[in-house]
Amino acid sequence: MNRTSQVSVTSRSGAQPALFGLPRVFWLAWRDLTLEFRGRAGLLAAVFFLATMLLILGLALGPLRSDLEKAAPGVLWVSLAFAGSLLAGRAFGLEVEDGTLDDLLLTPGSKEWIYFGKFLFQLMLLLLVALALLVMTAGLFYLPLKAWPALLFTVFLGTIGYAAISTFYAGLLARLRGREVLLPLLLFPLVVPVVLAAVRATAGLAQGLPVAEVADWWRLLLVFDAVYVTVCSLLFPLALEG
Protein backbone atom coordinates (compact mmCIF):
# COMPACT_ATOMS: atom_id res chain seq x y z
CA MET A 1 0.00 0.00 0.00
CA ASN A 2 1.39 3.41 -0.95
CA ARG A 3 1.25 5.67 2.09
CA THR A 4 2.30 9.29 2.37
CA SER A 5 2.66 11.34 5.50
CA GLN A 6 2.53 15.08 5.75
CA VAL A 7 2.03 17.62 8.50
CA SER A 8 1.39 21.25 7.71
CA VAL A 9 0.74 24.23 9.89
CA THR A 10 -1.38 26.99 8.38
CA SER A 11 -0.80 29.39 11.25
CA ARG A 12 -0.07 29.12 14.93
CA SER A 13 -1.44 32.25 16.53
CA GLY A 14 1.16 32.12 19.32
CA ALA A 15 4.14 31.59 16.99
CA GLN A 16 6.83 34.25 17.35
CA PRO A 17 10.00 35.11 15.49
CA ALA A 18 13.16 33.60 17.04
CA LEU A 19 14.33 36.95 18.47
CA PHE A 20 11.21 37.24 20.61
CA GLY A 21 11.98 33.85 22.13
CA LEU A 22 14.85 35.42 24.10
CA PRO A 23 12.91 36.06 27.35
CA ARG A 24 11.65 32.48 27.14
CA VAL A 25 15.26 31.24 26.88
CA PHE A 26 16.15 32.99 30.14
CA TRP A 27 12.92 31.90 31.87
CA LEU A 28 13.52 28.29 30.91
CA ALA A 29 17.12 28.37 32.16
CA TRP A 30 16.06 30.11 35.38
CA ARG A 31 13.19 27.66 35.94
CA ASP A 32 15.49 24.66 35.47
CA LEU A 33 18.13 26.10 37.81
CA THR A 34 15.45 26.71 40.46
CA LEU A 35 14.20 23.14 40.03
CA GLU A 36 17.75 21.75 40.19
CA PHE A 37 18.49 23.57 43.45
CA ARG A 38 15.17 22.48 44.96
CA GLY A 39 15.68 18.86 43.94
CA ARG A 40 19.45 18.94 44.70
CA ALA A 41 20.00 15.32 43.60
CA GLY A 42 21.97 15.99 40.39
CA LEU A 43 24.23 18.72 41.70
CA LEU A 44 25.00 16.98 45.01
CA ALA A 45 25.84 13.73 43.19
CA ALA A 46 28.22 15.58 40.83
CA VAL A 47 30.01 17.47 43.63
CA PHE A 48 30.36 14.30 45.75
CA PHE A 49 31.67 12.39 42.71
CA LEU A 50 34.18 15.18 42.00
CA ALA A 51 35.48 15.30 45.55
CA THR A 52 35.94 11.51 45.60
CA MET A 53 37.61 11.49 42.18
CA LEU A 54 40.04 14.28 43.07
CA LEU A 55 40.95 12.57 46.32
CA ILE A 56 41.65 9.26 44.58
CA LEU A 57 43.67 10.97 41.81
CA GLY A 58 45.59 12.93 44.42
CA LEU A 59 46.49 9.76 46.30
CA ALA A 60 47.39 7.93 43.07
CA LEU A 61 49.54 10.70 41.53
CA GLY A 62 51.08 12.18 44.73
CA PRO A 63 52.62 12.86 47.05
CA LEU A 64 55.37 14.77 45.17
CA ARG A 65 54.30 18.35 44.57
CA SER A 66 55.95 18.45 41.13
CA ASP A 67 53.95 15.39 39.96
CA LEU A 68 50.70 16.86 41.22
CA GLU A 69 51.41 20.25 39.59
CA LYS A 70 52.20 18.58 36.28
CA ALA A 71 48.97 16.56 36.36
CA ALA A 72 46.74 19.44 37.52
CA PRO A 73 45.46 20.70 34.10
CA GLY A 74 44.62 17.17 32.96
CA VAL A 75 42.99 16.34 36.29
CA LEU A 76 40.91 19.53 36.11
CA TRP A 77 39.47 18.82 32.67
CA VAL A 78 39.10 15.06 32.95
CA SER A 79 37.27 15.53 36.25
CA LEU A 80 35.06 18.20 34.68
CA ALA A 81 34.34 15.94 31.70
CA PHE A 82 33.30 13.05 33.99
CA ALA A 83 31.30 15.21 36.38
CA GLY A 84 29.77 16.90 33.34
CA SER A 85 28.61 13.54 32.01
CA LEU A 86 26.72 13.05 35.29
CA LEU A 87 25.06 16.43 34.85
CA ALA A 88 24.60 16.18 31.09
CA GLY A 89 21.24 14.46 31.38
CA ARG A 90 19.88 17.02 33.85
CA ALA A 91 18.77 19.43 31.12
CA PHE A 92 16.04 17.02 30.05
CA GLY A 93 16.12 14.72 33.09
CA LEU A 94 14.01 17.27 34.95
CA GLU A 95 11.35 17.10 32.23
CA VAL A 96 11.48 13.30 31.98
CA GLU A 97 11.25 12.79 35.77
CA ASP A 98 8.18 15.02 36.02
CA GLY A 99 6.69 13.95 32.66
CA THR A 100 6.53 17.55 31.42
CA LEU A 101 8.46 17.22 28.16
CA ASP A 102 5.28 17.14 26.05
CA ASP A 103 4.07 20.38 27.63
CA LEU A 104 7.37 22.03 26.76
CA LEU A 105 7.14 20.79 23.17
CA LEU A 106 3.62 22.19 22.88
CA THR A 107 4.74 25.75 23.58
CA PRO A 108 4.14 27.92 20.53
CA GLY A 109 6.83 28.78 17.99
CA SER A 110 9.92 27.05 16.66
CA LYS A 111 11.85 24.83 19.05
CA GLU A 112 15.34 26.38 18.86
CA TRP A 113 14.62 28.50 21.94
CA ILE A 114 14.19 25.30 23.98
CA TYR A 115 17.73 24.31 22.96
CA PHE A 116 19.15 27.67 23.97
CA GLY A 117 17.25 27.66 27.29
CA LYS A 118 18.47 24.18 28.15
CA PHE A 119 21.98 25.04 26.91
CA LEU A 120 22.09 28.10 29.17
CA PHE A 121 20.94 25.99 32.13
CA GLN A 122 23.55 23.32 31.38
CA LEU A 123 26.25 25.97 30.98
CA MET A 124 25.46 27.62 34.32
CA LEU A 125 25.38 24.25 36.07
CA LEU A 126 28.75 23.27 34.57
CA LEU A 127 30.29 26.64 35.38
CA LEU A 128 29.26 26.28 39.02
CA VAL A 129 30.85 22.84 39.17
CA ALA A 130 33.93 24.09 37.28
CA LEU A 131 34.43 26.90 39.79
CA ALA A 132 34.28 24.45 42.69
CA LEU A 133 36.63 22.16 40.78
CA LEU A 134 39.09 24.96 40.11
CA VAL A 135 39.31 25.72 43.83
CA MET A 136 39.66 22.03 44.74
CA THR A 137 42.36 21.45 42.08
CA ALA A 138 44.26 24.49 43.30
CA GLY A 139 44.15 23.12 46.85
CA LEU A 140 44.94 19.47 46.13
CA PHE A 141 47.08 19.71 42.97
CA TYR A 142 48.75 23.10 43.45
CA LEU A 143 47.21 24.51 40.25
CA PRO A 144 48.51 28.12 40.25
CA LEU A 145 45.68 30.65 40.26
CA LYS A 146 47.92 33.66 39.55
CA ALA A 147 46.49 34.00 36.04
CA TRP A 148 42.94 33.45 37.30
CA PRO A 149 41.14 35.71 34.77
CA ALA A 150 42.75 33.75 31.91
CA LEU A 151 41.99 30.45 33.67
CA LEU A 152 38.34 31.45 34.12
CA PHE A 153 38.17 32.42 30.45
CA THR A 154 39.56 29.00 29.47
CA VAL A 155 37.04 27.26 31.72
CA PHE A 156 34.26 29.38 30.21
CA LEU A 157 35.24 28.51 26.63
CA GLY A 158 35.65 24.81 27.45
CA THR A 159 32.29 24.51 29.19
CA ILE A 160 30.46 26.23 26.31
CA GLY A 161 31.51 23.49 23.89
CA TYR A 162 30.78 20.75 26.41
CA ALA A 163 27.34 22.18 27.28
CA ALA A 164 26.44 22.65 23.59
CA ILE A 165 26.94 18.98 22.76
CA SER A 166 25.60 17.53 26.00
CA THR A 167 22.38 19.56 25.69
CA PHE A 168 21.86 18.32 22.16
CA TYR A 169 22.41 14.68 23.03
CA ALA A 170 20.34 14.95 26.21
CA GLY A 171 17.43 16.17 24.08
CA LEU A 172 17.99 13.52 21.42
CA LEU A 173 18.02 10.71 24.00
CA ALA A 174 15.40 12.13 26.38
CA ARG A 175 12.71 9.63 25.41
CA LEU A 176 14.98 6.58 25.19
CA ARG A 177 15.55 3.95 27.81
CA GLY A 178 19.21 3.47 28.70
CA ARG A 179 19.94 7.14 27.98
CA GLU A 180 22.20 7.33 31.06
CA VAL A 181 24.53 4.78 29.41
CA LEU A 182 24.23 6.10 25.86
CA LEU A 183 24.80 9.74 26.73
CA PRO A 184 28.48 9.49 27.82
CA LEU A 185 29.20 7.07 24.95
CA LEU A 186 27.98 9.61 22.38
CA LEU A 187 29.24 12.64 24.26
CA PHE A 188 32.90 11.83 24.90
CA PRO A 189 34.10 11.34 21.29
CA LEU A 190 32.76 14.76 20.36
CA VAL A 191 34.09 16.62 23.41
CA VAL A 192 37.63 15.23 23.03
CA PRO A 193 38.78 18.20 20.88
CA VAL A 194 37.32 20.67 23.38
CA VAL A 195 38.93 18.91 26.36
CA LEU A 196 42.31 18.63 24.60
CA ALA A 197 42.38 22.29 23.63
CA ALA A 198 41.27 23.31 27.13
CA VAL A 199 43.96 21.12 28.75
CA ARG A 200 46.67 22.65 26.57
CA ALA A 201 45.51 26.19 27.34
CA THR A 202 45.29 25.43 31.09
CA ALA A 203 48.74 23.77 31.07
CA GLY A 204 50.22 26.82 29.34
CA LEU A 205 48.72 29.15 31.94
CA ALA A 206 49.88 26.88 34.78
CA GLN A 207 53.45 27.03 33.39
CA GLY A 208 53.26 30.81 33.40
CA LEU A 209 53.29 31.24 29.61
CA PRO A 210 52.17 34.65 28.36
CA VAL A 211 48.57 34.93 27.25
CA ALA A 212 49.65 35.46 23.63
CA GLU A 213 51.06 31.92 23.57
CA VAL A 214 47.85 30.42 24.93
CA ALA A 215 45.63 32.45 22.63
CA ASP A 216 45.86 29.91 19.79
CA TRP A 217 44.16 27.31 21.98
CA TRP A 218 41.48 29.84 22.87
CA ARG A 219 40.89 30.49 19.18
CA LEU A 220 40.56 26.77 18.59
CA LEU A 221 38.09 26.52 21.48
CA LEU A 222 36.11 29.46 20.09
CA VAL A 223 35.86 27.75 16.70
CA PHE A 224 34.67 24.49 18.29
CA ASP A 225 32.16 26.39 20.43
CA ALA A 226 30.78 28.33 17.48
CA VAL A 227 30.47 25.21 15.32
CA TYR A 228 28.91 23.07 18.08
CA VAL A 229 26.40 25.71 19.20
CA THR A 230 25.36 26.50 15.61
CA VAL A 231 25.06 22.90 14.41
CA CYS A 232 23.37 21.64 17.57
CA SER A 233 20.80 24.45 17.66
CA LEU A 234 19.93 23.86 13.99
CA LEU A 235 19.59 20.09 14.42
CA PHE A 236 17.80 20.25 17.75
CA PRO A 237 14.20 20.64 16.45
CA LEU A 238 14.76 17.53 14.31
CA ALA A 239 16.18 15.65 17.30
CA LEU A 240 13.07 16.41 19.32
CA GLU A 241 10.82 15.08 16.59
CA GLY A 242 12.59 11.72 16.86
Note whether 222 binds other proteins by CB under 8 A: no
Note whether 39 binds other proteins by CB under 8 A: yes
Q: What is the DSSP-derived secondary structure letter of residue 108?
A: S
Candidates 60, 63, 64, 102: give the one binding other proteins (CB under 8 A): 102
Whether 115 contacts 168, CB under 8 Å: yes
Whether 220 contacts 197, CB under 8 Å: yes
Closest separation in Å from C-beta 242 to other proteins: 9
- CA-wise closest residue to 193 among 152, 239, 170, 226: 226
Q: Read out DSSP for 79-93?
A: HHHHHHHHHHTHHHH
Number of residues in the chain = 242
- CA-wise closest residue to 53 among 126, 124, 125, 132: 132
**Candidate ranges 35-43, 169-177, 194-202, 228-236; the one touching other proteins (CB under 8 A):** 35-43
Note whether 237 binds other proteins by CB under 8 A: no
Note whether 5 binds other proteins by CB under 8 A: yes
Candidates 60, 64, 106, 212: give the one binding other proteins (CB under 8 A): 106
Contacts (CB under 8 A) with other proteins, residues 108-147: 108-109
Footprint of other proteins (CB under 8 A) = 3-14, 16, 20-21, 23-24, 27-28, 31, 34-35, 38-39, 94, 98-100, 102-109, 241
